[in-house]
């Protein structure tokens, strides 16, 4: 990282290195805060280099983060980076080839707040993790560097294939270079033009679903309602411009700089292979910026959830012998029209949208929705009116005039409120009940899955509608949600009758595409597992008080001041408290969500593994206060810390995990020496030097506890006198590195819960 305070020895080294191995005429020093920029023969950036004199493993990790952060700050982000440094008297160049976009374009941390000269530890760790997964790092020594450089210069004459892995990088470079005569503010349009440009007048076809059309098995390429095959690209040498012509909608977009356009595409091979392009098309939603996702609702209802909605609607139309052209589509809480984004333009003309915010109306207009009004749908019993045929009509009047059926699609807000009749209920249920009065043929409704496990199910039953489809996904799919979200498609005529006895839903997750996981049937008559556990907590309150437990706040509070308003944690009920907390820990964002409706069943049905997993959660609670007073009618007493608890005869030389395990299960606690022996078989599988190092580490663990199982201890004795950090890193390299082998060691030590 170049700066005014860069040590003179680093400055001297990078100049000497460049003179030795590169063409000095194709080098820039300390430009744009980059130590060395290697240029191709046309003067374009070819490689960004971070220069150091020497590097230990920690310094190398920081240097890798620095060169990545420096790359991120540049207008032109490269896929090729490098480190140079001295090692054992040799010149080293580590060439970093970013294999896909996940290193440079991810949201693991806040890029803007990080500085290349002083990255935070969090940024260093996350960037290095990404590099391990998605980069190829090749180490060149001395004269090998000259050969590498010669080959690198030749790369400028090679065309780069466009793939799913590099599409984001190419798109950002394209946006930087390609400027349209009239600025395009709608990112959806800009991405469509990028894909059209990538095709370069090639007309691929495939059997893709196009909602609202009657096309046969060979269908053109449709992206969010836009037919990419309807575009053509014309180059005008006289005017030195490029024109994108949308033949279907009679629009055109002009690029006034033909020279820049040609220079950009000279690097890439167009079009991509058909199979690769179809992958790019399927994942093209990744090209949207975070701001656009927030502004246009992409975080509220993800792209692939809407895609699945449209696939199901396509099937519904086949089953009902209709087409979307037979419906007026109404969204009374449209936001920015995200649920309707992927319809064809012909179907968009049949969409009628209302939203509370005037800014949303503007965004919907930019997205070319024709029928959008601002309206507070829950203010009273009235319906909004839309301009239609020179007059103002309600949605049912429009349906009647057009002689079509009504389909409602909505993802309403989920807050509880007092409605205009003075009754408390969730806004989503209010929206559902109000649109039911319109007697629609179909309702597509997004809401919390747990709604079917509450009294709210009566609203669905009372509607007399049938359930045609019910799919759901966990909270991590919806970035702004804490619950599983369901997509329900109700129908007057098709589907299953709803019952308060059980319901079935299909689970989908975002795992390299929106994938079906499993179909679940919920027995609504089974007892609440949470209530069963709460009862066990209250019935087992004798023993030593350890703190307070509150399920609703998802908190285990280990304290010497137990609350009178909360159930005390004691040595008798600790395992049930940890079980309850462990259920949340194991399920949140993974299977179901954090509520007392999903978890059904009896304690006796829970396998022992889940008890163990729940107890393992206690490792997250360190340095928490305990009390030693026996429960009679309440809490209180002298406070001691878990470290002091460890000084009791029965817990001497035990770590926190085994102390809590003993308290929860009523078993004899293992000493650290006994637990260390659990790793014996693992140690036997290692090479002698690696085994020696971990045996020394386990000796320190037996003396000092779990905090000794950290990479930082290798700089101290007894390790420092045997090996330096570089050598230690080399010893563990074949096992995935220092952090990997330490994690494997911990897994062996705590195998019962790992």
- Asked if residue 426 lies in contact with residue 415, where contact means CB atoms within 8 angstroms, the answer is yes
Tokens of 564: 């009178």
The CA–CA distances, whole Å, from 117 to 5, 69, 73, 86, 96 equal 10, 9, 12, 20, 19
Distance, CA of 410 to CA of 372 (rounded, Å): 14
Please state which CATH number belongs to domain 322-523.
3.40.50.150
Pick left, alpha or beta for residue 554 (phi over 0 → left; psi -120 to 50 → alpha; otherwise beta): left
Rounded to an integer, what distance in angstroms lies between the CA atom of residue 336 and that of residue 339? 9
Domain ranges of the chain: 8-158, 167-287, 322-523, 529-670, 673-749
Q: Which residue has the tokens 């079935």?
A: 504
pLDDT at 611: 64
User: How confident is the model at residue 215, as a pLDDT?
Assistant: 40
| Tally of CB atoms within 10 A around 142 | 13
Contact criterion met (CB below 8 Å) for 406 and 330: yes
Which CB contacts under 8 angstroms, 24+ apart, belong to 322-326?
A: 322/405, 323/212, 323/214, 324/211, 324/212, 324/350, 324/407, 325/212, 325/350, 326/404, 326/405
Dig out the tokens for 258 from the structure: 């033909």
Residue 698 is predicted with a pLDDT of 92
Percent helix, strand, coil in the chain, to 5, is: 40, 25, 35
pLDDT digits (tens, 9 = 90+) for 312-322: 999 999 999 99
Alpha-carbon dihedral sign for residues 195, 201, 207, 213: positive
Distance CA 634, CA 159 (A): 76
- Are residues 101 and 117 in contact, defined by beta-carbon separation less than 8 angstroms? no
Is-contact 66 81, C-beta < 8 A?
no
Q: What is the pLDDT of residue 220?
A: 62
Residue 585 phi, psi dihedral angles, 5° rounding: -60, -40
**745 closest CA partner among 668, 673, 699, 680:** 680
Greatest Cα pair distance, the chain, in angstroms, is 95
- From the number of C-beta atoms within 10 Å of its C-beta (0-12, 13-18, 19+), residue 310 rates as buried
The alpha carbon torsion through 217, 221, 223, 225 (nearest 10 deg) reads -60
Q: What is residue 730's predicted lDDT score, i.e. its pLDDT?
A: 83
CA distances 89 to 49, 92, 630, Å, are 20, 9, 67
Below-70 pLDDT ranges, the chain: 1-6, 32, 155-160, 205-221, 224-225, 249, 267, 290-301, 475-483, 511-513, 547-567, 581-599, 608-647, 649, 664-666, 752-754
pLDDT of residue 211: 42
Q: Strand, helix or coil at 586?
A: helix
- How far apart CA 511 and CA 508 sit, in angstroms, is 9
């Amino acid at each position: 990282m170049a700066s005014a305070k860069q040590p003179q020895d680093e400055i001297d080294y990078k100049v000497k290195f460049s003179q030795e191995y590169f063409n000095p005429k194709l080098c820039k020093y300390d430009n744009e805060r980059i130590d060395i920029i290697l240029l191709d023969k046309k003067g374009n950036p070819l490689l960004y280099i971070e220069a150091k004199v020497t590097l230990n493993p920690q310094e190398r990790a920081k240097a890798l983060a620095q060169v990545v952060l420096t790359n991120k700050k540049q207008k032109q982000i490269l896929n090729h980076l490098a480190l140079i440094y001295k090692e054992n008297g040799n010149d080293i160049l580590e060439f970093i080839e970013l294999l896909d976009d996940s290193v440079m374009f991810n949201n693991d941390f806040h890029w803007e707040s990080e500085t290349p000269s002083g990255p935070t530890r969090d940024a260093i760790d996350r960037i290095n993790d990404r590099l391990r997964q998605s980069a190829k790092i090749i180490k060149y020594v001395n004269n090998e560097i000259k050969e590498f450089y010669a080959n690198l210069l030749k790369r400028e004459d090679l065309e780069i294939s466009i793939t799913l892995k590099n599409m984001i990088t190419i798109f950002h470079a394209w946006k930087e270079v390609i400027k349209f005569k009239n600025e395009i503010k709608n990112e959806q349009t800009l991405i469509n033009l990028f894909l059209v440009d990538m095709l370069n007048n090639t007309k691929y076809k495939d059997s893709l679903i196009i909602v609202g059309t009657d096309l046969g098995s060979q269908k053109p390429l449709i992206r969010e309602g836009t037919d990419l095959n309807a575009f053509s690209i014309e180059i005008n040498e006289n005017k030195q411009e490029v024109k994108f012509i949308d033949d279907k909608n009679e629009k055109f977009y002009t690029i006034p700089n033909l020279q820049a356009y040609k220079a950009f595409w000279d690097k890439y091979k167009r079009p991509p292979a058909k199979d690769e392009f179809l992958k790019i098309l399927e994942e093209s939603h990744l090209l949207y910026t975070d701001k656009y996702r927030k502004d246009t609702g992409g975080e509220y209802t993800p792209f692939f959830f809407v895609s699945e909605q449209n696939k199901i609607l396509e099937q519904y139309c086949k089953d009902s012998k209709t087409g979307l052209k037979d419906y007026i589509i109404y969204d009374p809480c449209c936001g920015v029209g995200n649920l309707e984004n992927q319809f064809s333009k012909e179907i968009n003309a049949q969409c009628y949208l209302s939203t509370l915010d005037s800014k949303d109306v503007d965004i919907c207009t930019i997205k070319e929705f024709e029928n959008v009004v601002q309206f507070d749908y829950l203010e009273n019993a009235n319906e909004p009116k839309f301009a239609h045929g020179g007059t103002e009509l309600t949605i049912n009047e429009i349906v009647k005039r057009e002689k079509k059926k009504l389909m409602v699609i909505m993802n309403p807000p989920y807050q509880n409120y007092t409605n205009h009749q003075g009754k408390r209920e969730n806004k989503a249920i209010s929206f559902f009940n109000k649109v039911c009065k319109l007697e629609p043929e179909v309702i597509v409704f997004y809401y919390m899955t747990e709604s079917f496990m509450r009294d709210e199910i009566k609203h669905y039953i009372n509607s007399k509608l049938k359930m045609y489809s019910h799919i759901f996904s966990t909270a991590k799919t919806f970035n702004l949600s804490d619950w599983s979200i369901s997509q329900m498609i109700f129908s007057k005529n098709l589907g299953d009758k709803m019952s308060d006895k059980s319901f079935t839903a299909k689970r989908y997750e975002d795992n390299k595409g929106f994938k079906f996981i499993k179909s679940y049937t919920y027995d609504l008559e089974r007892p609440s597992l949470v209530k069963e556990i709460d009862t066990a907590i209250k019935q087992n309150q004798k023993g030593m008080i350890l703190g307070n437990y509150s399920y609703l706040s998802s908190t285990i509070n280990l304290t010497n001041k137990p609350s009178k308003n909360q159930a005390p944690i004691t040595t008798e009920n600790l395992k049930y408290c940890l079980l309850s907390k462990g259920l949340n820990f194991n399920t949140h964002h993974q299977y179901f969500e954090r509520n007392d409706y999903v978890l059904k069943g009896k304690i006796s049905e829970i396998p022992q593994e889940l008890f163990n997993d729940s107890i393992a959660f206690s490792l997250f609670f360190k340095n928490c206060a305990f009390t030693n007073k026996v429960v009679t009618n309440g809490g209180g007493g002298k406070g001691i810390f878990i470290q002091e608890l460890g000084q009791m005869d029965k817990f001497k030389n035990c770590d926190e995990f085994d102390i809590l395990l003993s308290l929860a299960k009523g078993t004899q606690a293992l000493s650290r020496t006994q637990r260390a022996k659990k790793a014996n078989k693992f140690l036997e599988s290692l090479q002698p030097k690696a085994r020696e190092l971990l045996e020394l580490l386990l000796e320190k663990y037996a003396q000092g506890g779990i905090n000794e199982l950290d990479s930082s201890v290798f700089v101290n004795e007894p390790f420092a006198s045997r090996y330096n950090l570089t050598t230690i890193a080399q010893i563990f390299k074949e096992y995935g590195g220092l952090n990997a082998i330490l994690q494997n060691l911990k897994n062996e030590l705590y195998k019962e819960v790992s």
